[in-house]
Structure 1
Amino acid sequence: MVLMTTVILADYAHARAGDKGNILSIAVFPLDPAHYAWLRRELTAERVAAQFATRRPSRVQRYEVASLAALNFVLDDALEGGVNRSPGLDRHGKSLSYLLLSMRLPAPG
């Protein structure tokens, strides 16, 4: 039997979130640049979509920014209509980076 060890993303990366209308953007940066390859392998658009399933994004796209050793995720329709329409406390989505950082991923190998 093979046991897969998982880790919390926040122990290996930091993130910055932003918004434009009803679109959420979250950039993820490894704390150690040596973990960029691991992030590229494990932090997929599909996994991010699953993590944000309760926000019901209509699309999740991932962009690699190798010059910054970063991944940028763009989630369409994830902000309850955007800043002017959302009844949420954090209409800008700034704290949603913590939702991403709480993800569990297979440990770097």
Structure 2
Amino acid sequence: MTTIIFIEPDGSRREVDAAPGQSLMEAAVHHGVKGIDADCGGACSCATCHGYVDEAWRDRIEPADGAELDMLEFAYRRGEGSRLTCQVKVADGMNGLLIRLPESQG
């Protein structure tokens, strides 16, 4: 298992276990992380699982593809490190990955 750290919209820190191949969104929903609504269930057709990948991790995960970048246009306060957590798959070497969730998703 890999530990993923979510900073919820209210600033609370949540550490969750995630399995390789699982999306960050799936791990968050499974563990009841606040701020991940996942309205589309991971189909990359909404932005309700938007999060900010910590700067230290941005170069260590796969970059967003065209469909994700298009959908991020709808994310509230898109910024540096913005990703749709449904599109980021857990992989070896991600232990301790830090994701901050927007206040607007609280």
- TM bin (shorter chain): 0.3 to 0.5
Question: Normalised by the size of structure 1, how large is the TM-score?
Answer: 0.34
TM-score, with structure 2 as normaliser: 0.34
Structure with greater helix percent? 1
Name whichever structure is richer in strand by fraction: 1
Larger radius of gyration: 1
